[in-house]
Amino acid sequence: MHTIVQRMVGACHQVTSHQWVALLLARLAIGFFFVMSGYNKLCVQGIGALREEFVGYGIPLPWLSASIDALVQFIGGFAIMVGLGTRLWSILVGVAMLVASVVVTIPDVLQKDIPAAKHGLLFWGWFYYRPEPIYLTVFLLLIFLGPGKASLDQVIARKLGMGQGQPPHAMRGGSG
């Protein structure tokens, strides 16, 4: 007869064995968002309008920065969706969100949200109310956990004889 603790442990193992589903859904959601964001910056809003925003925020080399930002979001979003170079693209798009957080979100929170609240709500409450920190959190998960089983990264790793996130020598029993 199984104890309640044993059943709970078993249930946790079952859920963990399906973590790839959560990683797939996270990749699809955040990847689609950034494909659309990059597409908007490239084709709808245009790089010129984004450049003007970057000038207003004091971002150096605004035309180059705006072009890189839009391309990283568009290409990176697609790559994250299909799970190709997931960790690398999560770092690149994550850096764009880190810049957005430092240049736009934190000043807005400090200058607008906290004074308007007229109460002692902590900075972090307002900061996490904005989307950029949540995107950063998802990117950190993808960087540390990887893309999961349902990804091109995993297909390539299997073809190369590697496990997900392991260097080639670790799979062959070589020493570092």
Is position 163 within any domain? no
**CA proximity to 123, closest of 95, 143, 145, 101:** 101
The Cα 173–Cα 60 span in angstroms is 47
Residue 62 lies inside a defined structural domain of this protein? yes
The H or E element spanning position 99 is helix 86-100
Q: Is residue 138 part of a domain?
A: yes
Predicted local distance difference test score (pLDDT) of residue 111: 80
CB atoms near residue 40 (< 10 Å): 16
User: Is 74 inside a domain boundary?
Assistant: yes
Say how many C-beta atoms besides its own lie within 10 A of residue 53's C-beta.
14
Q: Provide the angle, in degrees to the nearest 10, between the axes of the packed helices 4-17 and 19-39.
A: 40
Question: Is the CB of residue 136 less than 8 Å from the CB of residue 94?
Answer: yes
Tell me how far apart the alpha carbons of residues 172 and 161 are, in angstroms, rounded to a whole number. 8
Domain-located, residue 174: no
Question: What is the per-residue pLDDT for 98?
Answer: 94
- Residue 172 counted as domain residue: no
Question: Which amino acid is present at 58?
Answer: G
* pLDDT score at 90: 98
Overall pTM surpassing 0.95 (yes/no): no
Provide the domain count of the chain: 1
| Residues spanned by the domain of 134 | 20-153
Residue 63 is assigned to a structural domain of this protein: yes
Q: How far apart are CA 146 and CA 67, in angstroms?
A: 27
Give pLDDT, residue 4. 86
What pLDDT, on a 0 to 100 scale, did the predictor assign at position 165? 54
pLDDT in the model for residue 171: 46
How confident is the model at residue 58, as a pLDDT?
94
pLDDT of the residue at 166 = 55
Report the SS3 class of residue 46: coil
Residue 165 region, left (φ>0) first, then alpha (ψ -120 to 50), else beta?
left
pLDDT (tens place) for every residue of the chain, 176 residues total: 578 888 787 777 777 788 999 999 999 999 999 999 999 999 999 999 999 999 999 999 999 999 999 999 999 999 999 999 999 999 999 999 999 999 988 888 878 777 655 555 567 777 778 899 899 999 999 999 999 999 999 999 999 988 755 555 544 444 43
Measured between alpha carbons, how far is 166 from 150 in angstroms, rounded to an integer? 17
Asked if the structure places residue 86 within a domain, the reply is: yes
